[in-house]
Chains A and B, each alone.
Chain A
């Protein structure tokens, strides 16, 4: 819970009482690996905070899986557009390791927002953070070639190499598995 408290306070200061209001509506979810949290076509009901484990978000392009998010401890994950719009999900959210998650339902989040401007502010700034991360990722993808993206990603997420199958990492970086393998020699020194 300490991590969640710190996460929220990065955006806006919440009082102890407000934080308690938030934690009171959090649900704990434990699930095995390869568990599908959100199916395609389903309306995303929950926003998850990962306490332990790994989760991926992907969609099918014809029959090929396209991974758009890899999330680990302390990350937020859900089918975000479906969650925000309450429309059927285009994406699938699936665990890659056994997971321990905290979940907040859409309805409970709306109720929290309705309790005051302070909560609204928290919601605004967290949603803005999602938007900016998306924008930064797009710029990065366009400004750097696959080799540069590979090196940067591996530097910042070294532990993923041990925990995530290579084909998933390659898909997330939008490169062929063969290209990914070829780049691995860049990590040696």
Chain B
């Protein structure tokens, strides 16, 4: 897909996403679109480093990115995001304070981004976006809580199977160590659990 077509497609997706939450005319949406920026990064690029203030809220148009913390020199992946997902440092972006986490691309990534200042401007210029913002934040809160709940309430095996079932392409696209870290599973255990994904051997039917 060429760039222009992809951009149009993504704007349409965003328009429909917004309209899940509020009534929004095409004209109203068109007034907001100039505030979006397209940002491209190569693979394995740190989009946000520790200590920097996150200036952008990003929606992924293409590619995969992850967010991680450094815990005693070890990386702990706390978010893995692909096309259509949002990624930013919630704390650094919203409080405009130095980030304690890193956002890094895994594949080459194209973001549809909006800066902190642009978002504040939009809230003031188009007050009906207050509700849109509240609804999007509510959805983020619910998703985050559900992930926390699963981390505490599900067994390792259940977490593995559920994630792989819902995200079948990730095993091909993301290094295993990141997936294991995100699911809070030891890399050795993760390797062992992979046999659960192989299709069961079927006994060939006998000719009769």
Contact B127 A134 (CB under 8 A): no
Bound-complex Cα distance A134 to B130 (A): 21
Contact A59 B153 (CB under 8 A): yes
Given contacts A117-B128, A142-B69, A143-B71, contact A134 B145 (CB under 8 A): yes
Bound-complex Cα distance A135 to B10 (A): 28
Looking at the complex, which one of A123, A127, A136, A142 makes contact with B141 (CB distance below 8 Å)? A127
Bound-complex Cα distance A138 to B141 (A): 13
Give the interface SS of chain B, mostly helix, strand, loop or mixed: helix
Contact A142 B76 (CB under 8 A): yes
Bound-complex Cα distance A123 to B131 (A): 8
Contact B148 A138 (CB under 8 A): yes
Residues of A within 8 A of B133 (CB): 124
Contact B134 A136 (CB under 8 A): no
Contact count band on B: 20 to 34
Contact A84 B100 (CB under 8 A): no
Contact A80 B130 (CB under 8 A): no
Q: Which residues of B contact A (CB under 8 A)?
A: 69, 71, 76, 78, 90-91, 94-95, 100-101, 123, 127-128, 130-131, 133-134, 137-138, 140-142, 144-146, 148-149, 152-153
Q: Which residues of A contact B (CB under 8 A)?
A: 59, 61, 66, 68, 80-81, 84-85, 90, 113, 117, 120-121, 123-124, 127-128, 130-132, 134-136, 138-139, 142-143, 174
